[in-house]
Structures are given as C-alpha cells and as structure tokens.
Amino acid sequence: MFVLSVPLRRRRRLPTSTFGVSVTTYTLYVHDGRYAVPTLLTVDMRDDEGVRVYARQYLERSPHYRSVEIWDDERRVGELKLDQT
C-alpha cells in the first residue's frame, strides 16, 4: 500500500497591490446533486465575508448545486446551502 504524505498548506497572505492589501487562499467544496464527490475550488479573497459573497454567487449559478463548504486551511469558515423550498 502506497501512502502519499503531503504537508498541510500554510495560510498564505499574498500582496495584491502596492497598497499592501493581502489575501487569503480559501478552499471551497461545491456539493452538486449530480455527483457523489464535491468539486474543489480555490479562491483568493481579502476576508471571510468576501469569500462568503463569492460562494453564495457561485452556489446560485446552477440548480444542481446544493451547498458550498468554505475552508481556510483547517479552519472551517462556514457552509452555505440553498433553500430547497
């Protein structure tokens, strides 16, 4: 049995302009009703609120998307779900 050991990704803060604005790389898991395995996305955002807005907009792109989990390394930022009513 082969086990691949990969070090955990450390929180990245990348300068995005000359004004010293930094961003964090977030991981999004998009749960799609058509598939058993969620789709993995990474997105660079300035803060948690920005990534929540992005995740909400992404979730509304398809009627098949059920939820989006948002992670910052091992910190769970949250999960957004569509109202199924």
| Threshold 0.85, pTM exceeds | no
Domain residue extents for the chain: 24-81
**Closest by alpha carbon to 52, among 77, 72, 73, 23?**
77
| Contact predicate 29/69, CB 8 Å | yes
For residue 34, count other CB atoms closer than 10 A to its CB.
8
pLDDT digits (tens, 9 = 90+) for 17-63: 556 778 999 999 999 999 999 999 999 999 999 999 999 999 999 99
Is the model's pLDDT at 72 over the cut of 60?
A: yes
